[in-house]
């Protein structure tokens, strides 16, 4: 979009994209933790408290990803509107 516009986009757009990517990485890490915890629970028995913390961490990461996705979608729409010819 910057090439179409022939000038750089505002910094908040790239910041929103960076935060969105960071949120994706956090969700991936929490999901891996959940998988590891679930597989170890099958071997050793049910320590429920640890499972709940892992699931809550994943839910928190998903909420942050949802918010970041909304923000980046809005930012990309704004960037698109700025690139359209007048």
Residue 4 within any structural domain of the chain: no
- Specify the 3-state DSSP secondary structure of 6: coil
Residue 78 within any structural domain of the chain: yes
Q: What is the pLDDT of residues 42-82, one digit of tens each?
A: 655 555 566 788 889 999 999 999 999 999 999 999 989 98
User: What is the total count of domains within the chain?
Assistant: 1
The alpha-helical segments, DSSP class H, found in the chain are 2-5, 11-44, 48-83
- Structural domain span for residue 30: 9-83
- Token couple for 51: 């499972």
Sign of the C-alpha dihedral computed for residues 14, 15, 20 and 21 taken in this order:
positive
pLDDT at 59: 95
Residue 44 within any structural domain of the chain: yes
Q: What does pLDDT average to over the chain?
A: 86
Residue 58 within any structural domain of the chain: yes
Residue 72 within any structural domain of the chain: yes
Residue 2 within any structural domain of the chain: no
């Amino acid at each position: 979009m910057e090439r179409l516009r022939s000038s750089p986009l505002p910094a908040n757009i790239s910041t929103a994209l960076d935060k969105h990517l960071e949120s994706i990485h956090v969700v991936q890490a929490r999901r891996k933790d959940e998988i590891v915890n679930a597989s170890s629970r099958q071997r050793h028995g049910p320590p429920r408290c640890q499972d709940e913390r892992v699931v809550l961490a994943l839910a928190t990461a998903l909420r942050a990803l949802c918010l970041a996705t909304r923000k980046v979608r809005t930012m990309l729409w704004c960037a698109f509107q700025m690139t359209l010819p007048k």
